Amino acid sequence: MADNPFPQSRDQLLQAYRTMRTIREFEERLHIDFGRGDIPGFVHLYAGEEAAAAGIMMHLGSGDRIASTHRGHGHCIAKGVDPLAMMKEIYGKKGGSCEGKGGSMHIADLGKGMMGANGILGAGAPLVCGAALAAKFRAQAGQPSDVAISFVGDGASNQGTFLESLNLAAVWNLPAIFVVENNGYAESTSRDYGTAVDSYVDRAAGFGLPGVTVDGTDFFAVHEAAGEIIARARKGGGPAMLECKMVRFHGHFEGDAQTYRAPGELDDIRSHHDCLKKFAAAVTAAGVLSAAELQAIDHEVLGLIERAVVEAKAAPQPTQADLLTDVYVNY
């Protein structure tokens, strides 16, 4: 093997690829199975955006919290939520991450620091202020300096909750990071139509926060920028914003015909802006990872996803007794 020109170790690069490939295969399988009518409800796929989740979450431990979006599967997988439990959840089955009571838009695993995908756009940002405040109190009591990260799309970045949270995090100097996943579309409406400023760095500055924009399809760029912002927050340097410019391989939701896209747009982003292809090309060209190593991961991941689907389909349905449980801790 050649000398490693990347700041990440070989093991970290293998981990990053495995995370991104797991998200990709999870989502592409959901796309197929949703089309077959196997999956109830709404599904919003993260395929195409994997480098952001992987590049950011590699800096986090289980004490660090994240709040996700309606497009949350990628964040869950990258934060360490069990894909087998996730698949059961998406099928609405017992043994799912939320025992079938949450579904795709509400997968959470608080033990892993995953505070939930969220069906309400922008709602995660205030929650992350609270998680960061709790982390700040814990750090003052001598515990590790954890951070909290709010993910938001370019669309939901116009919600008042998000904008208020930028200010609250700044005035309380919270270890909170706001990641804008800019995939160019607020559902079907273009980012440029719905957001007056071009730069999220400008918007962050308006709230007194530092901001960085990176190519969100470049794992290495995301990893580096996120690392600096997260390290700064851990040292008490306060909140920051990270804009990841990225592409969405699928529609807003499954079933979206995507007629708002330009002709040839989907072919172009899959051909030229696929974060997994870019990552694989970089690491193999540098001779750090071999094509065979990547293929072995591909093979393992396909097996994992197949197993997840088989187990999800075989898992028991919730029963009438489950309808009324867990509304309260005590009532």
CB of 147 to another protein, least distance (A): 12
CA distance 211 to 202: 8
Q: Which is nearer to another protein, 16 or 308 (CB)?
A: 308
CB of 138 to another protein, least distance (A): 8
Positions in 132-151 near another protein (CB under 8 A): 133-135, 137-138, 141, 148
The one among 110, 196, 285, 321 contacting another protein by CB under 8 A: 110
Q: Which stretch binds another protein (CB under 8 A): 42-50, 95-103, 233-241, 267-275?
A: 95-103
**Residue 308 identity:** A
For the stretch 94-101, contacts whose Cβ atoms lie closer than 8 Å and that sit 24 or more positions apart, written own/partner, are 94/315, 94/316, 94/317, 94/318, 94/322, 95/315, 95/316, 96/312, 96/315, 99/318, 99/322, 99/326, 100/317, 100/318, 100/322, 101/318, 101/322, 101/326
CA distance 109 to 104: 13
Positions in 113-132 near another protein (CB under 8 A): 115-116, 118-120, 123, 125-131
Positions in 160-179 near another protein (CB under 8 A): 160-161, 164-165, 167-168, 171-172
Residue 263 is classified by DSSP as T
Positions in 191-250 near another protein (CB under 8 A): none
SS3 for 279?
helix
**Which positions touch another protein (CB under 8 A)?**
65, 67, 96-102, 106, 108-111, 115-116, 118-120, 123, 125-131, 133-135, 137-138, 141, 148, 160-161, 164-165, 167-168, 171-172, 325-331
